[in-house]
Amino acid sequence: QKEVEQDPGPLSVPEGAIVSLNCTYSNSAFQYFMWYRQYSRKGPELLMYTYSSGNKEDGRFTAQVDKSSKYISLFIRDSQPSDSATYLCAMSSNYGGATNKLIFGTGTLLAVQP
Amino acid sequence: NAGVMQNPRHLVRRRGQEARLRCSPMKGHSHVYWYRQLPEEGLKFMVYLQKENIIDESGMPKERFSAEFPKEGPSILRIQQVVRGDSAAYFCASSPPNSQETQYFGPGTRLLVL
């Protein structure tokens, strides 16, 4: 079993839709939860960062972490064609001497249709 | 405000040659991470360095791969005697001193081994 599971998609939605992206994980030591956006043949871009459980909102993006269920989500409101990209969840821990190396999901490919 | 810089962006090598990938972190960042992205796979951690020190190399293959981050100059990921299976995108990320979990990625170096 992978430490981080993410549905690879592809996920296709019409412009303006609310998008929900999710990851599950197995390592209860993870404390930091990130979402990255990666356009084709580019480097990952940090979108959202959350420490421990809870919600965080930034513009059209909302990140949720439920540590009891080991489940994280990213919501995109009013999706735009420019949101079309691969979305990667990532997690890390510095508990017990761990070094905050990021463990990534495989990414979900999102296509927003105009 | 320059982000993480990587060069070259594309590198072609024949089997048995050496590949040297360079990474300059963001200004003020003293932590460098290297990740590899194989086709159809997610990003995988390779190594974490601070200036003149390797902190975590648990993701590095035991042979042919090495990394350094000297006191002056960029971080270098070196692959000796490359094989076709080394073909991948190699990404460098950097983080500020007191926030290692927030890692910012460079554009990557795409290595092709013929």
**pLDDT (tens digit per residue) in A91-103:** 998 777 777 899 9
Q: Using one digit for the tens of pLDDT, what is the confidence trace for B57-106?
A: 999 999 999 999 999 999 999 999 999 999 999 999 999 888 777 899 99
Q: How close does chain B come to A107, measured CA to CA in Å?
A: 7
**Cα separation, B84 vs B93, whole angstroms:** 24
CB pairs under 8 A between A and B: 64
The larger pLDDT score, comparing residue A1 to residue B110, is at B110
Contact A113/A15 with Cβ under 8 angstroms? Answer: yes
What are the beta bridge partners of residue B21?
A: B77
Distances (CA, A) of A40 to A63, A71, A110, A113, B16: 23, 26, 11, 17, 29
pLDDT band at B1 (very low <50, low <70, confident <90, very high): low
**Would you state the structure tokens that stand for residue A55, as one six-digit string?**
């919600």
Q: How close does chain A come to B80, measured CA to CA in Å?
A: 24
- Please check whether residue B90 touches A, CB under 8 A: no
**Cα separation, B94 vs B113, whole angstroms:** 26
**pLDDT at residue A95, as a whole number:** 75
Listed residue (A78, A67, A57, A76) closest to A32, CA to CA: A67
Whether the per-residue pLDDT at A13 is higher than 70: the answer is yes
Yes or no, beta carbons of B45 and A36 under 8 Å apart: no
Contact B94/B28 with Cβ under 8 angstroms? Answer: no
Contact A99/B95 with Cβ under 8 angstroms? Answer: no
H-helix or E-strand containing B103? none
Residue among A6, A103, A106 whose CB faces B41 most closely: A106
B10-13 and A45-51 strand pairing:
unpaired
- Please check whether residue B54 touches A, CB under 8 A: no
Q: Using one digit for the tens of pLDDT, what is the confidence trace for B14-48?
A: 999 999 999 999 998 989 999 999 877 789 999 99
User: DSSP 3-state assignment of B31?
Assistant: strand
**pLDDT at residue A54, as a whole number:** 87
Yes or no, beta carbons of B42 and A105 under 8 Å apart: yes
Reply yes or no: is the peptide bond before residue B8 cis, omega within 30 of 0. yes
pLDDT band at A52 (very low <50, low <70, confident <90, very high): confident
DSSP state of B30: -
Yes or no, beta carbons of B56 and A105 under 8 Å apart: no
Helix, strand and coil content of chain A, in percent to the nearest 5, comes to: 5, 55, 40
Contact A113/A14 with Cβ under 8 angstroms? Answer: yes
pLDDT band at A57 (very low <50, low <70, confident <90, very high): very high
Q: What type of residue is B60?
A: M
Q: Residue range A76-96: average pLDDT?
A: 93
A54-58 and B109-113 strand pairing:
unpaired
